[in-house]
Amino acid sequence: MDMDTENLTRKYYGYLKTLPSIKIFATTFSVESLLILLRSFQLTFDYLFSFVLYSILLIIIFKNKIKIALFMMNLTAIPYLLLSLLPITPFYAFGFFMPLMAYILLGSYKEIPSIVLSGITSYVPIIFYFKYSIIFLLYILIIGLIFHFYIYTVNRKGVKILGLKSTQVAVPFITAITEKNKVPLENFLNLISVKTTLNVFMYKLDDFLFMIPQIHFGVFDNVGSSRFVYDIEKALRNNIVTVFHGPGSHELDLPSSAEVNKVIEAISKSTIERNDWNKATFYGISIERRSTFDITSLEFDKFRVSFMERPEFGIDDLPSSLWKYMLSSNNYLIDCHNSFLEREYDSHEINSLKDFIADQRGIKSTRRLMVGYSEGKLGKACDGLCDNRIRVFTFDDGVKRVSIVYIYANNSTKELNYAISNAVRQIVDKVILVTPDDHSCTGVSLGITYSPATFCEDLVNIASELIKRSTENMKEINRVEYKVVKIKGVKILGKIISIMLKALEDVGNYTSKTFWIPLITPYVLLIVILLFQSFIKF
């Protein structure tokens, strides 16, 4: 899925997090305040008192966002000073940025409270220019009404597509990112989610536990199931647990921490129960090409696990519809998520995967399975990594030796994937980079977009060393077991996420072309007022 909810949110509200530092704002504001003070000696101190009151109101409204408060003060001070040099009463400057203030407040409040708060903040300083209170009240009311009508047109587009106001969808996402408050967003997502039965395929190679849950690890940051991989590792910390990404996109996101906890509790109980694990026999490692996919499989008599790569065009979120084929044939695909998607999948590619899943290999001769494991940490940060751990598994069937390099990232660039895939090829036949489509470090601020793991020399060097170390730790697997855990009544976002993304994208396109209308209203309105006053005098 190319367009994502958090991407859309960042796209249209990103300026809030890309503001300069508080130090710069404070310095600029100090200079402006000094100029206003000096100007008040030439005019009256009402000029100073009005701006002080306006600043105090901004601090109260944006009490937890001092940077934004200073930003608004800095903006307003400029026209406030300029208007004092012209034959125009300077208090109109308090209304110049009322629409911008209302836009920002939409991230914390509903539409009407945002308009009222921005209107009060802009109007109250008029007490020092009381004789102009009626004309300025009219000025503020018209600005508020135009803003209200504009938001109405924006919301109407959302209602037509989704059945919900656009602000109802967008505001919880903005709040989660800017205020680090996930509760409103999770409540909203929980409201639109649907119940289903989730499947989790697990297999054990002696003490190594692997799982492919029918879950997508989103939405972002710590919202929904974004930290599922970390949460399950913590819950099963007495095991060496590895969670792979199966087919599916944001429609398989869990909406809240409560749903995540429900799933983890069910998995934890299931790992302890010994009577429903099925035994299996290892057949070997196969490497093949289907359509545009490179497929490396661990084959057993009762199931097959396949690592899916698409080197030419990238791989990102295979269709969730593949799950029904996987469950019916016990052949499971792991979306390696190791090359940033450049071209969407076509029907021929998906049909080739369905044929591959349905392909039953029949009885083969058994082989000895050797597994080596190693884990390390990066000494310094590499772009795109959500965690500095690197984990390596090496599988050997006596004929082929394949290493899996597991990193905590959302995806990978081709450059990194190529570098790791060609590392230490002299001691293994194939190296596969795997990420779990980690969303825990996406959406952490409005300015941060999806960032795949990029080429990093330290990462490649440490991965190479860990591959060597894993081959030195090889041990024979004596017990292979597997099971499918079915968890009923779990909420997922479902198909509505596609409709919601379409609504957000359509609304985003509309607002990107029209957002300026409320912003220029105060200036146009002031010109009308001045022309009207000139006409009366004339």
Q: Is the pLDDT of residue 383 over 70?
A: yes
Q: Which pLDDT does position 242 carry in this prediction?
A: 97
Classify residue 184: in a domain, yes or no: no
Task: Categorize the per-residue pLDDT at 13 as very low, low, confident or very high, splitting at 50, 70 and 90.
Answer: very low
Segment 515-532 shows an average pLDDT of 93
Residue of 380, 390, 374 whose CA lies nearest to 435: 390
Task: Categorize the per-residue pLDDT at 334 as very low, low, confident or very high, splitting at 50, 70 and 90.
Answer: very high
Q: What's the domain range around 150? A: 5-172+508-537
Classify residue 459: in a domain, yes or no: yes
Based on the domain organization, do 219 and 129 belong to the same domain?
no
List the beta strands (DSSP E) in 3-101: none
Residue of 28, 13, 181, 169 whose CA lies nearest to 105: 13
User: Bigger pLDDT: 240 or 5?
Assistant: 240
Asked if residues 100 and 71 have their Cβ atoms less than 8 Å apart, the reply is no
Among the residue ranges 27-31, 41-45, 281-285, 407-411, the one predicted with the least confidence is 27-31
Based on the domain organization, do 88 and 161 belong to the same domain?
yes
Q: Is the pLDDT of residue 398 over 80?
A: yes
Q: Work out how many domains the chain is built from and give that number.
A: 2
Neighbours of 251 (CB within 10 A): 19
Annotate 432-468 with b (16+ C-beta within 10 A) or e (fewer): bbbbbbbbbbbbbebebebbbbbbbeebbebbbbbbb
Q: What is the DSSP string of 266-307?
A: HHHHHHH--TTPEE--EEEEEEEEETTEEEEEEEESS-EEEE
Q: Which two tokens stand for residue 183?
A: 């509760």
Cβ partners under 8 Å of residue 332, min gap 6:
201, 212, 246, 303, 304, 305, 306, 326
Based on the domain organization, do 110 and 259 belong to the same domain?
no
Per-residue pLDDT of 115-136, as tens digits, reads: 999 999 999 999 998 888 899 9
Q: Is the pLDDT of residue 239 over 70?
A: yes
Q: Which pLDDT does position 298 carry in this prediction?
A: 97
Segment 182-209 shows an average pLDDT of 93
**Neighbouring-strand partners of residue 412:** 453
Q: Is the pLDDT of residue 4 over 60?
A: no
In whole angstroms, what is the distance from residue 522 CA to residue 142 CA? 9
Classify residue 78: in a domain, yes or no: yes
Do strands 401-409 and 385-396 pair parallel, antiparallel, or not at all (unpaired)? antiparallel
Based on the domain organization, do 211 and 148 belong to the same domain?
no
Based on the domain organization, do 128 and 155 belong to the same domain?
yes
Asked if residues 62 and 17 have their Cβ atoms less than 8 Å apart, the reply is no
Based on the domain organization, do 150 and 32 belong to the same domain?
yes
Q: Which pLDDT does position 2 carry in this prediction?
A: 40
Q: Which pLDDT does position 67 carry in this prediction?
A: 86
Amino acid (1-letter code) at residue 469: R
Q: Which pLDDT does position 393 carry in this prediction?
A: 98
Based on the domain organization, do 148 and 219 belong to the same domain?
no
Per-residue pLDDT of 458-487, as tens digits, reads: 999 999 999 999 999 999 999 999 999 999
Classify residue 178: in a domain, yes or no: no
Q: Which two tokens stand for residue 248?
A: 């599916």
Asked if residues 313 and 292 have their Cβ atoms less than 8 Å apart, the reply is yes
Q: Give me the helices (H) in 289-400, please.
A: 322-329, 347-358
Do strands 208-213 and 194-205 pair parallel, antiparallel, or not at all (unpaired)? antiparallel
Q: Which pLDDT does position 449 carry in this prediction?
A: 52
In whole angstroms, what is the distance from residue 27 CA to residue 39 CA? 19
Classify residue 503: in a domain, yes or no: no
Based on the domain organization, do 362 and 215 belong to the same domain?
yes
Amino acid (1-letter code) at residue 253: D
Classify residue 183: in a domain, yes or no: no
Q: Which two tokens stand for residue 267?
A: 């998995």
Per-residue pLDDT of 132-157, as tens digits, reads: 889 999 999 999 999 999 999 999 98
Classify residue 501: in a domain, yes or no: no
Q: Which two tokens stand for residue 397?
A: 């069937």
Q: Which helix (H) or strand (E) holds 242?
A: strand 240-243
User: Bigger pLDDT: 276 or 211?
Assistant: 211
Neighbours of 409 (CB within 10 A): 28
Q: Which pLDDT does position 333 carry in this prediction?
A: 98
Secondary structure (3-state) at 365: coil
pTM above 0.85, yes or no: no
Segment 325-351 shows an average pLDDT of 95
Q: Which pLDDT does position 443 carry in this prediction?
A: 57
**Neighbouring-strand partners of residue 123:** none
What's the chain's Rg over C-alpha atoms? Answer: 29
Q: Which pLDDT does position 444 carry in this prediction?
A: 53
In whole angstroms, what is the distance from residue 300 CA to residue 280 CA? 6
In angstroms, the first-to-last Cα distance of the chain is: 62
Q: Is the pLDDT of residue 8 over 60?
A: no
Burial class (CB in 10 A: 0-12, 13-18, 19+), 479: exposed
Based on the domain organization, do 217 and 136 belong to the same domain?
no
Neighbours of 512 (CB within 10 A): 11
Q: Crossing angle for the helix pair 183-192 and 166-178, nearest 10 degrees?
A: 140
Segment 195-202 shows an average pLDDT of 97
Secondary structure (3-state) at 493: coil
For residue 182, how far is the Cα from the chain centroid? 12
Classify residue 391: in a domain, yes or no: yes
Cβ partners under 8 Å of residue 443, min gap 6:
6, 9, 10, 176, 177, 219, 220, 221, 223
Based on the domain organization, do 488 and 513 belong to the same domain?
no
Asked if residues 191 and 183 have their Cβ atoms less than 8 Å apart, the reply is no
State the average pLDDT for the chain.
Answer: 89
Q: Which pLDDT does position 182 carry in this prediction?
A: 87
Based on the domain organization, do 114 and 220 belong to the same domain?
no
Asked if residues 416 and 462 have their Cβ atoms less than 8 Å apart, the reply is no
Q: Which pLDDT does position 347 carry in this prediction?
A: 96
Secondary structure (3-state) at 260: helix
Segment 273-292 shows an average pLDDT of 94
Based on the domain organization, do 127 and 235 belong to the same domain?
no
Percent of the chain at pLDDT > 90 equals 69
Q: Is the pLDDT of residue 446 over 60?
A: no
Q: Which pLDDT does position 537 carry in this prediction?
A: 65
DSSP structure class, residue 19: P
In whole angstroms, what is the distance from residue 47 CA to residue 171 CA? 36
